[in-house]
Amino acid sequence: MDSVGVFGRTVADAVHGLDVIADRDEEDPMTHNCPNHNIKYSKHLASRTALKGAKFGLPWSHCWNCISPQRKDVALRVFEAIEAAGAEIIRTDFPCAEDRIAPDGSWDWKRGEVAESEFTVVMTDAYNDINAYLSQLSDTSVKLVDDIVRFNIKNTGTEGARPGDIPAFSSGQDDLHQVLNSQGRKDTAYHKAFQHTQYQCREQGIDAALRFNCADSDGVEFDALLLCDHKGAGQQLAAQAGYPIVTIPIGLDSHGLPVGLSFQHRAWEEQTLIKWASAVEDLVREVQGWRPTPEYRNFRSKNIPVDPID
């Protein structure tokens, strides 16, 4: 399962928070492989002048070609500014796009056969990790995934256990039922799915897109990948690969909704992403000023059920 990192008003705010929490965690085996626990991430913050000579890859298939015209307009203005600052943005692709990303570019964690699906791994890990977390809590009777399921059923009006109770979870807690049914078994299907998703999202995904081979040259090693990642494909690949990703706001679309630009790289390259994200953020602020506030239009509106007429 992926882990949500730090949030901040700016890249610098988030990085200062990362400096405080980043270290070896005895309860998180992933941190044991970090090559440098003493790195000071704030030293890698950069200004827009760092963009000169940089080369960025723009994953195309199932990514950029699936972005709405309104969001593309926002991103293209930023891309023009990045190129004017001396950087290059070059089309690339994830070789795993057909396997891991839905045709419309959306995140689908149940995509593929059982032995290839991200959800096969998520079900098992969620069961084991949630139970481990709950077991450490005091002053609560909720100690297992089973308890969460029963609580949601008892309070379905607020928790959305049944389909249709809450619009945000139209199918109810069906995913949680599948987590419960997995019983945390790391069987053959689990191990195959884990190996498949990591290989596809690392070697055939982010690693390959960073080393894009051009037909008319010896190839390009990109400084980072850029994704205008509204539908979540970039986050999906990074999560399955276990790689870092940084997202910054770059403007609003025609509906007043925020548009983000994500930066991707390999494992333990947080400092690289911090450099480029902070440099582009500085550039966007120079070109556009302080970012506009999202306009959550019609947020008080109510959906009125309408029966279709045959």
Which residues, including other chains, have CB under 8 Å from residue 261's CB and lie 6 or more apart?
75, 78, 226, 227, 228, 247, 248, 249, 250, 280
**Chain centroid, CA 180 distance in Å:** 25
The residue among 139, 159, 163, 137 whose CA lies nearest residue 150 is: 159
* Confidence class for position 205, pLDDT limits 50, 70, 90: very high
pLDDT at position 1 over 60? no
* Confidence class for position 231, pLDDT limits 50, 70, 90: confident
Query: What Cα–Cα distance (Å) separates residue 211 from each residue in 89, 197, 207, 227, 266?
Result: 14, 19, 7, 16, 11
* Confidence class for position 276, pLDDT limits 50, 70, 90: very high
Q: Which of these ranges, 14-18, 103-107, 197-201, has the smallest mean pLDDT?
A: 103-107
The residue among 268, 229, 264, 232 whose CA lies nearest residue 249 is: 229
Determine the average pLDDT of the residues in 30-55: 91
Asked whether the beta carbons of 127 and 183 are under 8 A apart, the reply is: yes
Arithmetic mean of pLDDT over the chain? 90
CA distance 283 to 251: 13
Determine the average pLDDT of the residues in 221-240: 90
Determine the average pLDDT of the residues in 106-114: 90
Residue type, 72: K
Global confidence as pTM? 0.89
pLDDT at position 308 over 80? no
pLDDT at position 14 over 80? yes
Q: Which of these ranges, 46-50, 70-74, 241-245, 306-310, has the smallest mean pLDDT?
A: 306-310
* Confidence class for position 3, pLDDT limits 50, 70, 90: low
Which residues, including other chains, have CB under 8 Å from residue 150's CB and lie 6 or more apart?
none
Structure token pair of residue 53: 């000579």
Q: Which of these ranges, 154-158, 267-271, 277-281, has the smallest mean pLDDT?
A: 154-158
β-pairing, 88-92 vs 220-221, is: unpaired
Determine the average pLDDT of the residues in 192-219: 86
Q: Provide φ and ψ at 250, rounded to 5°.
A: -125, 5
Q: What is the pLDDT of residue 233?
A: 84
| Percentages (nearest 5) of helix, strand, coil residues in the chain | 45, 10, 40
Instruction: Tell me which DSSP letter residue 233 carries.
Output: H
DSSP codes, 248-304? EEEEE-TTS-EEEEEEE--TT-HHHHHHHHHHHHHHHHHHH-SPPPP--TTTT----
pLDDT at position 305 over 90? no
Q: What is the pLDDT of residue 136?
A: 92
Helix (H, G, I), strand (E, B) or coil at 38: coil
CA distance 68 to 66: 7
pLDDT at position 217 over 60? no
Determine the average pLDDT of the residues in 75-82: 97
